[in-house]
Homo-oligomer: A and B are copies of this chain.
Amino acid sequence: MNRVTIEKKVLSENDRIAARLREALTGTGTLALNFIGSPGAGKTAFLEKTLERLPVHTRAAVVTGDLQTENDAIRLRRYGFPVRQITTVGACHLDARMVEDHVSDWLQEGLELLFIENVGNLVCPTSYDLGEDLKVVILSCAEGEDKPLKYPGIFRKSELMILNKIDLLPHVPFRPELALENARSINPDIAIIQTSCITSAGFDPWMNWLERRAARKKAAASTLAAATR
């Protein structure tokens, strides 16, 4: 077997587990979001700010992936929701089995929202389905506007793009309209929300978007449950 064959086998095994996980998430009406971005795009800060604003009664949970350290889990646990760190010990992405192993008991208890923070990497996580409802790509204004063109895979597969750290716009040579144009040239249907975790800009539209998307998932799960009753 050559390398490509092995890669295909690994991905098809991953797809099998992802499909099982997706079925479980549909059964429980859980909206699962897979956050992908470069190291330093602000994924953890974005999730912290999101947890801070979530109504306390929300049944939400987070898994966060890193090669090493529990740092992100420690940061995210401050908001009262359950958080688990997945330490990949060298692997450059999360896979469906890692997620399934860490969330199965939560799903049995019932969960409305599952946030998955992937390893900081714009390339490899793109290929691994985690059973999620949608991928969210986070791009920071401290990066370049041409990232959607250079890393088209993740922008093509994401339902939502968060353009983060817009508080830095006065200090960086970054033209947001060009970044948006580039993202839309790769994926004309991508939703885009511009945010800052420092000024809180964009968090009202984001929380509304999230609420609507979660309600849609819940309604679909109820319809399915009624149809199979």
Contact = CB atoms under 8 A, between A and B. Distances in A.
A149 B92 contact: no
Interface in A20-63: 38-41, 44
A208 to B, nearest CB: 27
A229 interface: no
Contact of A40 (B90, B123, B143): B143
A6 B1 CA distance: 9
Given A142-B142, A172-B168, A120 B150 contact: yes
Given A40-B143, A120-B150, A171-B171, 16 more contacts: A1-B6, A38-B120, A39-B122, A39-B147, A40-B144, A40-B147, A44-B144, A68-B151, A68-B152, A69-B150, A71-B149, A121-B121, A121-B122, A121-B124, A124-B124, A142-B142
Interface of A: 1-3, 6, 9-10, 38-41, 44, 66-69, 71, 90, 92, 119-124, 140, 142-144, 146-147, 149-153, 165, 167-168, 171-173, 198
